[in-house]
Structure 1
């Protein structure tokens, strides 16, 4: 069973998340030949102050 752990900046709407997980599930089923009920997706919303790239917090880039 494929399991995806996806971290993304907070602020996406519930509808955006619905569309996102539906697209990931479809792509997984099409490419791996699995049933939709075997695909698990865990979304974690992260505040920009808790994410850094290149030694700089994303909250400082705003």
Structure 2
């Protein structure tokens, strides 16, 4: 019974508030299909959870992600 937890920042998507319902459904279907193809896992027993994290709560390289992006553009 696989359990997959996808964490993404709550940004982007059609309304700017994270992945749309259609995008989330595509992630769930894609991950389930991948586990079936690679590991032979039954999609009906595969759990996929998508957590949308506020961008202010995400960091990379010791910096908040927004600061990291600004630094990377410089």
TM-score range, shorter chain: 0.7 to 0.9
TM-score by length of 1: 0.87
Deviation of the 1:35 alpha carbon:
1.2
Deviation of the 1:37 alpha carbon:
1.0
Runs of 5+ consecutive residues of structure 1 not aligned to the other structure: none
Name the one with the larger strand percent: 1
Runs of 5+ consecutive residues of structure 2 not aligned to the other structure: 11-17
TM-score by length of 2: 0.75
Aligned CA RMSD, in angstroms, stands at 1.3
Q: How does 1:1-16 map to 2 (within 5 A)?
A: 1-10=1-10, 11-16=18-23
Count of aligned pairs = 62
Query: Moved runs in structure 1, 4+ residues, more than 4 A?
Result: none
* Larger Cα-atom Rg: 2
Larger RCO of the pair (alpha carbons < 8 Å, separation 6+): 1
